[in-house]
Homo-oligomer: A and B are copies of this chain.
Amino acid sequence: MDIKALASAHPDHWARAACIRTLTLDAVAAANSGHSGMPMGMADVATVLYDKHLSFDASNPDWPNRDRFILSAGHGSMLLYSLLHLTGYEDMTLEQIKDFRQLGAITAGHPEYGHAKGIETTTGPLGQGIANAVGFAMAEEHLRAVWGKKIIDHYTYCIAGDGCLMEGISQEALALAGHQELSRLIVLWDDNGITIDGKVSMSDRTDQKARFAASGWDVFSCDGHDPEDIDRALTEAKASPRPAMIACKTHIAIGSSAQDTAKGHGALTDPEVVANTKAAYGWEHAPFEIPAELKQWWEEVGRRGAEDRKAWEERFNALSAGKQSEFTRTFAGEMPKKLTATIKALKKQLSEEQPKVATRKASQMALEVINTIVPETLGGSADLTGSNLTHTGGLGIFSPEDRKGRHIHYGIREHAMAAAMNGMILHGGIKPYGGTFFTFTDYARPSMRLSALMEIAPVYVMTHDSIGVGEDGPTHQPVEHLAMLRATPNMNVFRPADAVETAEAWELALTANKTPSTLALSRQGLPTVRTEHKTKNLTAQGAYVLADAEGKRQAILMATGSEVAIAMEARDLLQAEGIGTRVVSMPCWELFEQQDESYRKRVLPGGPVRVAVEAAADFGWDRWLFSERGKRDKGGFVGMTGFGASAPAGDLYKHFGITAEGVAEKVKSLL
């Protein structure tokens, strides 16, 4: 690599890009950990992108019509932090850069959404960013159609590395993007030929350009160290009527002794290596020092979009007051005021009509009224629309032909669906929900975890939530998935018992702004257990007394979802024998945990025998059976002890002993 030739070919550009490279070297050295090579390698591309293409205003980081920049290769976080600092984002001070990877700093090892302005999404788990970017681009297409291009009209740029492209999620994401013709999506592939284990050629020989082209992308190439070539490729990509991938040929850890090696992927902390690299760059400044004229140039870049932003604000202010407030509301993630009344009316109707429907059907019934009054919902399914029942009347199908369509055929791509939903909600202006079978939570897990970690609130509509699946058998019957999600911080897991609880759960899922929700919904029909209308949202308390004991309270049955009706039947059996039995419906453990002690004690007082009923693993139930005023020898569980089986659902419930009789027997054995 002839660094001097590079530097002398474009000396101004070289010095500007060197700011990123040296800040990276200094921050990684100070932290004694991190990833130097990627920011060093992609500094030229990023400099040209920010200088000439990215529409943004560092003084207004939340401007809704800004271009979005997503660093899918999140380990290269110093690239992003450097750009934010250099262009003048207020919160990204030099002190934060110096505190890279330290407790309390906004400059985490990987970019964490919410830590700093300009971090559009949390990345690090590879492949997530590129799939988020697809969601951003879908959101932009939809909102451009809804609001007009005077209000929404921007690009989504994404830098992805070899790791991102090897992860399976990248295939789901790029195929979805190609199908949807997301022309405003531009992926810059850092084609440096190196992964942690060594050369990419040790584990891959994929022609990435051919692969993207196979799914309907336009593909471009550039020399990732030649600013003119980068500019040319970006200009061409922006003009493309399809999503565009630019293969940027780069040298990882350029200019260092670790250039083009796996060592260069990691932390270059050796003082000599750092010094030599800076010398190779012709950089003669102290650590963390950016010469004033260079900082000034970068801050100009940070102000470049200010006029566009002001022009946008004028256009926005020209909208009617109603439209403005609607835009502001949806971008704030707030629900329309009438949601509460609408859900109440639905609940009243359901308590009166008492339908026996599957909760997946009840979910659709709720969505029918919700989608009418909440225009920002964007639903979908991973090729199980008719099973998940996520589609409602008149939504239309989101497609190149109908950008206003509000139901998305995600294809058999649970992972990309979840990641795209994250991207949509991060974009703003959209409340996404998407469905698959509950057991396929497994496929979507990495993105679901990121919803929780980022404190964003998409809604996962997970139907077919137990052995109630029936004949499809154990691969399709979730057993451990309730526990998996309940163990996940900041995830509300709803398992509603009937149509009323389902409506309540939807209200809570939509109004949650910082916590994602999973709705675990039955395949099979369930009777209405909430036969008496209550205006209060009882599900909001997480658990509540559905039916109290008659006579002396000897037993408390705790159940969720499809097993609440079984608990109610068991109560009938027990009461008939004079055993006073309370039934507690527990649609959301997390919300119950948040109730105060006095409420929890009212619902689960000490004393009676407690039996929990859930067609799932018992993992986690000990909390409610034993530690919440329960008694060690007076608690029992009726549910699954292993995987399910293939048979009609009714047969399975009997086979596994999850029946009213089984519950009653369990109670009696503990009395």
Binding site for B on A (CB under 8 A): 31, 33-34, 74, 101-105, 108-110, 112, 122-126, 162-163, 166-172, 175-176, 178-179, 195-198, 202-208, 210-211, 213-216, 381, 383-387, 397, 409-413, 415-416, 439-440, 442-443, 445-446, 449-450, 452-453, 470-476, 479-480, 483-484, 486-490, 617, 619-620, 622-623, 625-627, 629-632, 635, 640-643, 645-648, 651-652, 655
A110-B197 CB under 8 A given contacts A168-B415, A206-B215, A440-B125 = no
Q: Is there an interface contact between A202 and B409, defined as CB atoms closer than 8 Å?
A: yes
> What is the distance, in angstroms, from A563's C-beta to the closest C-beta of chain B?
17
Docked complex Cα distance between A610 and B305 (Å): 60
A125-B626 CB under 8 A given contacts A162-B412, A215-B206, A487-B484 = no
State how many copies of this chain the complex holds: 2
Q: Is there an interface contact between A108 and B646, defined as CB atoms closer than 8 Å?
A: yes
Contacts of A630 in B (CB 8 A): 626, 632
Q: Is there an interface contact between A646 and B412, defined as CB atoms closer than 8 Å?
A: no
Contacts of A104 in B (CB 8 A): 647
Contacts of A640 in B (CB 8 A): 489
A108-B445 CB under 8 A given contacts A168-B167, A484-B487 = no
Residue on B nearest A448 in the bound complex, by CB: B442
> What is the distance, in angstroms, from A227's C-beta to the closest C-beta of chain B?
29
Q: Is there an interface contact between B196 and A175, defined as CB atoms closer than 8 Å?
A: no
Contacts of A471 in B (CB 8 A): 31, 33-34, 101, 109
Docked complex Cα distance between A47 and B635 (Å): 56
Residue on B nearest A176 in the bound complex, by CB: B203
Docked complex Cα distance between A166 and B470 (Å): 25
Docked complex Cα distance between A17 and B179 (Å): 35
A203-B411 CB under 8 A given contacts A108-B473, A163-B383 = yes
Contacts of A206 in B (CB 8 A): 175, 178-179, 214-216
> What is the distance, in angstroms, from A98's C-beta to the closest C-beta of chain B?
14
Q: Is there an interface contact between B472 and A109, defined as CB atoms closer than 8 Å?
A: yes
Contacts of A487 in B (CB 8 A): 480, 483-484, 487, 617, 619-620
Residue on B nearest A200 in the bound complex, by CB: B411
Docked complex Cα distance between A487 and B652 (Å): 21
- The 8 Å CB contact of A489, one of B439, B449, B617, B651, is B617
Please name the 8 residue pairs, one residue from A and one from B, whose CB atoms are nearest each other, closest first. Answer: A168-B168, A203-B411, A171-B171, A108-B646, A103-B647, A483-B487, A124-B475, A487-B619
Contacts of A171 in B (CB 8 A): 168, 170-171
Residue on B nearest A163 in the bound complex, by CB: B412
Q: Is there an interface contact between B384 and A196, defined as CB atoms closer than 8 Å?
A: yes
Docked complex Cα distance between A166 and B409 (Å): 13
Contacts of A108 in B (CB 8 A): 473-474, 645-646
Q: Is there an interface contact between B172 and A166, defined as CB atoms closer than 8 Å?
A: yes
Q: Is there an interface contact between A386 and B197, defined as CB atoms closer than 8 Å?
A: yes
> What is the distance, in angstroms, from A415's C-beta to the closest C-beta of chain B?
5
> What is the distance, in angstroms, from A287's C-beta to the closest C-beta of chain B?
19
Residue on B nearest A645 in the bound complex, by CB: B103
Docked complex Cα distance between A208 and B480 (Å): 34
Q: Is there an interface contact between A103 and B655, defined as CB atoms closer than 8 Å?
A: yes
Q: Which of A101, A166, A623 has the most CB of B within 10 A?
A: A166
Contacts of A635 in B (CB 8 A): 627
- The 8 Å CB contact of A109, one of B31, B623, B646, is B646
Contacts of A198 in B (CB 8 A): 409
Contacts of A642 in B (CB 8 A): 489-490
Q: Is there an interface contact between B74 and A475, defined as CB atoms closer than 8 Å?
A: yes
> What is the distance, in angstroms, from A363's C-beta to the closest C-beta of chain B?
18
Contacts of A647 in B (CB 8 A): 101-104
A384-B101 CB under 8 A given contacts A124-B476, A211-B214 = no
- The 8 Å CB contact of A626, one of B216, B440, B632, is B632
> What is the distance, in angstroms, from A615's C-beta to the closest C-beta of chain B?
14
Q: Is there an interface contact between A646 and B112, defined as CB atoms closer than 8 Å?
A: yes
